[in-house]
Structure 1
Amino acid sequence: MHFLIIDDSAADARVLKAMLGQACPEGFEVSFASSGAEALRLLQNHEYDCLFLDYRLEDSADWSVLRRIRELQMDVPIIAISGYGNEQVAVEGLKLGAQDYLVKDALTAETVHRALHNAIEKVTLAKNLLAQQKELRDFAHMAAHDLQAPLRRITQLSEFLQEDLEGSLNEKSTMHLEMIATNATRLQSLVKNLIDYARHGSSETPLREVSLKQVVAAALQNLEVVIKEANAQVTVGEMPSIMGDEVMLNLLFQNLISNAIKFRDKRVPEIRISAIHESSQWTIEIADNGIGIAEKDVDTIFAPFKRLHSQREFEGSGIGLATCRKIVDQHQGKIWAKSKLGEGTTLYVSFPDTVATS
């Protein structure tokens, strides 16, 4: 392993090197920089497994070198070191991108080894996560792009059918044909937003005033077949209007209501959707009488690909609630759950305050 010690005190640098010798008996290589300028030059031309950065250098103010390294988007692990056991200094260094913080007077082989291991592990995990996110975005972009052509074709064919059969269909058949066209159009909007998300990490649609009453109604219409098959009873209270992306909010509520129906036992599914206004925000509650979630698992259900049941028990990809959390985050909101096994689940979604109830 190759380390860079950035410290304008040669004595302190030698002490740290000695500690590294005890912490890394398998061997290592170390380079030194006595100034911020020298450190930045070395970083431009060499790769290091970890940096040990002194808080105060003669040519640099406080954490200026740390700031500059992160501004250059270098993802090397950094352990900040200071001669001051100052909590504020430590917190500032960690906020600016250091993975750990050590005080010179308290250095031991054990603390250096622990800090080194933690710093490298944190950066490695972050790199792996970024790679996985990119892979997922690339897949979403490819899948969404491939859906565009057949959706356009479905829309065209439904229009042709409406023209060809105009006047010859009964009221029910006409309604079904209109629903095909409406849902195909909605899917096209959803696919477009998925492509935007895959390309940019968020929807590119500007937020505007959206009636959640209409959003929930559209979601229920999309789930009409599922609701009838489960004989589910869904009650909806007064809903507010918020600033949002209507297509993404439709997907959010469709996922949440679908989950409430899917994770049920032998009882008739009962879903209650209501809104509460407090502390300058709207909180939407989606409560069900389903199978519930063990308390130890409640905080994990929004993680990507997190499944609490086998595919045989309940079908699904494990990304539905993770998608919901992402949509809520884009609306500057929060999502959480309360549940007990066998007693149903209540999902809460909070949004910033807006206009009137609709």
Structure 2
Amino acid sequence: MVLPEPLEAQDGPGDIQMFRTDGLTVAVWLHTEDDTGGQVAWGGQCLLCTGGAAESGGTSIGYAASAGVGSGDPAELYVMTEGAVTTLDGRDVPSLELAVEERRFVVFLDQRAGLWGVHGPDDADRIDVDAVHGGAGSISGGDGPAPWVVSLIPPDAEAVLAGGGVEGASAELTGHQVLVAVGDGTATPEVEVVIDGERQALTSYVHAQATEAGVGDPPVTWRSTVEGFLWLDQGSSTEALSVEEELADGRAVLLPVAGGTLVVVGGWEPRAGEVAVRIGDDAGGRWEAATSVRVRELVDGRPVTVLGLPELSATEQAQVTDVGTVPGGARDPEPLGLTDVQVVPLGD
């Protein structure tokens, strides 16, 4: 039997060693009672996210492995050592520490990856990582006598903490308020936010941002399935877009919906700045600014951008040719260069 060539270890943050091959990343560290080498957590989407500890020659070795989706890189691995958070590649991630009644929480926000995480007080090795939706997030734990919730508040929103048996602490992290709330066993922490004068539960806001496309009356919702389809639903109307065909790179789908128009672009994540849609040719066309921009992840790991527009006439729908972003200081958008825009009525 021919054994494969051994992989050469690479230095990671702290005492962690990492190995990479063919889309697989494995991190290992010495796991002792006094020094774990840093707690770890995977973020993002992966086919395999696993970890644990194994005994070797009387020594406990901690490990974490991740296999990427499709041709994408493996999901990001976050390493927490003495309250500081870094990635396997050594990139520092902004973090802070908050304490409520001697219960210590470490919270980090990775704006580049669109992820945030919480190291709670209940499990020394557990870190919860979740996606940021609409600049917000909610992570909870401690189901016993002292339930807790950590809230990432959207910029320019006001947070409201339910009283009566709930203690809280807050601080700012990269422009977001982080609010930690701990119940006393008689009350479960509840956090609400006031956005544009409207008060709602933070969890409801996060859910809407995660599932709604940002346009339509009633709102259009979306879901990506492992079978390779992006489903769009509005009331009883539904449409399935093929990830490999209709949402292939360079292609887009326009969907007229009740209360607006959707333009769905696969494989594109616009840079920061105004996003617009091109209606008409170079001679007599115009750029229409998107009223909403939602970037999500398809099942194959590629981004998908859903743009909202006002209702367009049938003639205008057929004239949509491209999308683009306005760079800082520029006047006109830079076109993406779409090769095909297909008009698909929702529910046809």
Higher relative contact order (CA 8 A, sep 6+): 1
TM-score (ref. length: structure 2): 0.24
More strand by share: 2
**Greater helix proportion:** 1
